[in-house]
Chain A
Amino acid sequence: MWKEIKEREFGNVRPNLFSSRISKSRVSSIQLSNYKEILSSHRGSVNSLQVDLTESRYLLAGASDASVAVYDIQRATDHDERNLIAKHKPLFVLNKQHEHGHKYAISSAIWYPIDTGLFVTGSYDHHINVWDTNTTQVVMNFKMPGKVYRTAMSSIARSHMLVAAGTEDVQVRLCDIASGAFAHTLSGHRDGVMSLEWSTSSEWVLITGGCDGAIRFWDIRRAGCFRVLDQSCSQFGRRQPLLLRPTTNKVTNFKSSPASQSSSAKVRAHHRKSANGSALKPHTVGRISSLVKTAKQRSHPGMLSSHDRATAHYGVVTGLKVTGDGMYLLSAGSDSRLRLWDIESGCNTLVNFETTRLQSSKAIQMAVTQDSTLAFVPCMAITKVFDIWSGQTKSTFRGHYENVNCCCYNALDQELYTGGNDRQILVWSPPKFVSDETGEGKNGKAAATDDQDNWSD
């Protein structure tokens, strides 16, 4: 450690290389924390965890007993006697007794991305509530047609404040908290939507995973989705080679179409052509008119995607996670498969993550480290750490007594928080040596304890 600091001082190592080396070595030594503990006050399984995006200081947890709690993870509320373990109690808990609180399980609780003054919760009682953190009152309420499975807000949004909601209804709804009304709905899925995420590279792109196994990319400025991920469309390696086309089967579809063909096959061919053409992120509205010209169809080009039945998984898509650089998407399905997709080309990168079983009835929340090398995935009662590029299991974290539902990675401190059906929130962090703590403890008296024997007389 000191050697590396000296290297940085002399200019041999760049500052960001220095910091990434330190965080990488810390991440690789993560284990069940021996100095920090969160005292969960939930009486139901913890369904959703999120650390706030501005200071990485407050952890928001939503549970199945309709309770929401916020924990301060940097400052402990109390310590145990020998100053060894810091205990973090919730700053406040909102449960069913609250006058506008939720009545049934909370499936998703997220912070307002700009500051911690607001947070949004979605619940199985068909409501989405927007809460003011300081007064703990509900400021806005949206009623959905079905159980809310997931809510998401874009962390890079500068011109909109939309909450995207995935419910058991087939349409994805966008709720605007600036006006209190619904902005619009996105249709195309054939069953409920269990997972959704905003893209980390564009504030207009939303990615949804449905109970029908399809993953769709939506640009919210126009109708219909612009891409449906197909698991049979695959590429070798991280990026698409510049010259070769990704799928040979799609090319042969064009060639082998005889003269007398039905209209829906033509629809599919044109849709594929336009989808390949618009592989770059759609920036201007002018693109819509060019698509209309090439499609030559009676139906709206935005609705072409409803004919596309490609599936990304053989079951329900239970979890989605976009990497921080916005280039790759990790998706988990109830067929117990994890797939890594290249967002730019829409192809499956064929990385094989060894998972025996993933829970299939509930959504899971995965986490990825900031430099996109490790992925934390809850698999039944353990959390596995995968190397994203080779698919190997780097380590497994065993600690929960029952299934793990969600995990959240705090990049500032290199800590991982996991919540499970056993109502606990566990903290996993790089180890801190106990002797450091006792040294700083109660006014120098503790320094003597290092030398003392441990005999029991």
Chain B
Amino acid sequence: MNKKITELEPSTSRKRRRDEESEAELDNDDDDSQSLSLEENFTFSDTLMALRMMRSQFPRTEKVTVQPFVLRSQLYSSLKDRTQVDMELESLRRDRVLRIFKLNTGQDDHAVMFMDDYINQIERVVKRMEDKKQDDIRVFEWFKIHVIQSKLDTSIGHQELFSLLSWGGKVREEHISQLINAGLLIRQLIDQNMYWFSIPNIGSVLKGLSQGRKEVLSFLNRRKYKEMMLVSLEKKRLRLSPLDMRFHLRDLIGSGHLKTIQTPSGLIVKIAKD
């Protein structure tokens, strides 16, 4: 995996100060990063570092069948300046380091995935289709080589898809149906001729995402003052979602449903009233 290495610093320390400026490598530190609490590394200074850190903290259990991705709202909660986040995401997207996908779990939800992870995910899907002995998987190669590299947006029109795939060979309607069945493209509801790009096999994770959000919000709503200490909230396990509590907290704080208040005994998470 190609990572931009600006400063090598083995992260053997378990605690990270909030205003630490240097970038660190996290290759072998999955165990360490799992045990780092949310309170200690809540904010980052750089979008790419935040993305890598959150990618390494993505839960990898058997229930989660998808490569790590980060939600845009999680980035907003971890960095101070949202405009800066948007601009850096845009420049990283144009450099083809990552891709952005629009999710259907509610208004304006976007998932950010590194390009290599996305290619891995496509290859997994292709291998599964190969095992099932389905013929004509050439369309996936054409998709990987021609469409993904040149079309960097979140959606694509039918004519443009056809013309880009024809670089690879003769395209038929069945090829496009294959792409839709594999989960790489989704038809748009408002417009028949436009497709959203999507991450294959993400369905169960998205269901867990929306149910987990509801669970966290209802748990806090049931409490007397609709708030709880971040440290103890983080230790709770979620019943309905395979994703961990830290993932959901970052997402809800970034989208504005929860807010954090600094108190002498630590951070408190509260339901936002507006």
In the complex, B174 has a CB within 8 A of chain A: no
On chain A, the residues within 8 Å of B150 by CB distance are: 249, 252-253, 256
Give A337 to B82 CA distance when docked, in angstroms. 13
- With A249-B153, A382-B274 as known contacts, state yes or no: A315 contacts B107, CB within 8 Å: yes
Contact B154–A354 (Cβ < 8 Å): no
Instruction: For residue B153, give the distance in angstroms from its CB to the closest CB of chain A.
Output: 5
In the complex, B85 has a CB within 8 A of chain A: yes
In the complex, A444 has a CB within 8 A of chain B: no
Give A354 to B146 CA distance when docked, in angstroms. 36
Task: List residues 243-274 of chain B with CB under 8 A from any CB of chain A.
Answer: 255-257, 272, 274
Contact B83–A351 (Cβ < 8 Å): yes
Task: List residues 221-273 of chain A with CB under 8 A from any CB of chain B.
Answer: 232, 234, 236, 248-249, 252-253, 256-258, 260-262, 264-265, 268
Contact A249–B83 (Cβ < 8 Å): no
Contact A236–B164 (Cβ < 8 Å): no
Task: Find A380's partner among B162, B193, B257, B274 (CB 8 Å cutoff).
Answer: B274
Instruction: For residue B128, give the distance in angstroms from its CB to the closest CB of chain A.
Output: 29
Give A335 to B107 CA distance when docked, in angstroms. 6
Give A350 to B107 CA distance when docked, in angstroms. 18
Instruction: For residue B207, give the distance in angstroms from its CB to the closest CB of chain A.
Output: 21
Contact A350–B152 (Cβ < 8 Å): no
Contact A258–B163 (Cβ < 8 Å): yes
A334-346 vs B: 1/0 string, CB under 8 Å?
0111000000000
Contact A232–B274 (Cβ < 8 Å): no
On chain B, the residues within 8 Å of A356 by CB distance are: 255-257, 272, 274
B141-181 vs A: 1/0 string, CB under 8 Å?
00000100011111001011011101100000000000000
In the complex, B138 has a CB within 8 A of chain A: no
Instruction: For residue A297, give the distance in angstroms from its CB to the closest CB of chain B.
Output: 15
Task: List residues 325-363 of chain A with CB under 8 A from any CB of chain B.
Answer: 335-337, 350-352, 354, 356-357
Contact B160–A232 (Cβ < 8 Å): no
Contact A232–B153 (Cβ < 8 Å): yes
In the complex, A314 has a CB within 8 A of chain B: yes
Instruction: For residue A185, give the distance in angstroms from its CB to the closest CB of chain B.
Output: 23
On chain A, the residues within 8 Å of B83 by CB distance are: 350-352, 390-391
On chain B, the residues within 8 Å of A257 by CB distance are: 163
Minimum CB distance partner of A265 in chain B: B159
Give A421 to B54 CA distance when docked, in angstroms. 42
In the complex, B194 has a CB within 8 A of chain A: yes
Instruction: For residue A237, give the distance in angstroms from its CB to the closest CB of chain B.
Output: 8
On chain A, the residues within 8 Å of B1 by CB distance are: none
On chain A, the residues within 8 Å of B190 by CB distance are: 212
Contact B152–A265 (Cβ < 8 Å): no
Give A447 to B130 CA distance when docked, in angstroms. 93
Contact A236–B91 (Cβ < 8 Å): yes
Instruction: For residue B160, give the distance in angstroms from its CB to the closest CB of chain A.
Output: 6
In the complex, B87 has a CB within 8 A of chain A: yes
In the complex, A309 has a CB within 8 A of chain B: yes
Contact B255–A256 (Cβ < 8 Å): no
Task: Find B146's partner among A236, A256, A264, A337 (CB 8 Å cutoff).
Answer: A256
On chain A, the residues within 8 Å of B85 by CB distance are: 352
A264-305 vs B: 1/0 string, CB under 8 Å?
110010000000000000000000000000000000000000
In the complex, B135 has a CB within 8 A of chain A: no
Contact B86–A262 (Cβ < 8 Å): no
Contact A248–B107 (Cβ < 8 Å): no
Contact B166–A262 (Cβ < 8 Å): no
Give A335 to B255 CA distance when docked, in angstroms. 12
On chain B, the residues within 8 Å of A379 by CB distance are: 274
Task: Find A236's partner among B87, B152, B160 (CB 8 Å cutoff).
Answer: B87
On chain B, the residues within 8 Å of A357 by CB distance are: 274
Instruction: For residue A373, give the distance in angstroms from its CB to the closest CB of chain B.
Output: 15
Contact B108–A309 (Cβ < 8 Å): no
On chain B, the residues within 8 Å of A315 by CB distance are: 107
Task: Find A248's partner among B94, B164, B167, B191 (CB 8 Å cutoff).
Answer: B94
Instruction: For residue A192, give the distance in angstroms from its CB to the closest CB of chain B.
Output: 14
Task: List residues 73-132 of chain B with CB under 8 A from any CB of chain A.
Answer: 76, 81-83, 85-87, 90-91, 94, 102, 107-108
Give A351 to B86 CA distance when docked, in angstroms. 8
Contact B152–A261 (Cβ < 8 Å): no
Instruction: For residue A328, give the distance in angstroms from its CB to the closest CB of chain B.
Output: 14
- With A309-B194, A391-B82 as known contacts, state yes or no: A354 contacts B256, CB within 8 Å: yes
Task: List residues 186-208 of chain B with CB under 8 A from any CB of chain A.
Answer: 190-191, 193-194
Contact A256–B164 (Cβ < 8 Å): yes
* 10 A/B residue pairs, CB under 8 Å, sorted by A: A256-B150, A262-B163, A315-B107, A336-B108, A350-B86, A352-B83, A354-B82, A357-B274, A380-B274, A391-B82
Task: Other than A261-B163, A309-B193, A314-B102, give 8 A-B pairs with Cβ distance below 8 A.
Answer: A248-B152, A256-B163, A262-B162, A265-B160, A335-B107, A351-B86, A354-B76, A356-B274
| 9 closest Cβ pairs, A-B complex | A356-B256, A352-B82, A350-B86, A352-B83, A232-B153, A252-B150, A391-B83, A335-B108, A265-B159
Which residues of B are interface residues toward A (Cβ below 8 A)?
76, 81-83, 85-87, 90-91, 94, 102, 107-108, 146, 150-154, 157, 159-160, 162-164, 166-167, 190-191, 193-194, 255-257, 272, 274
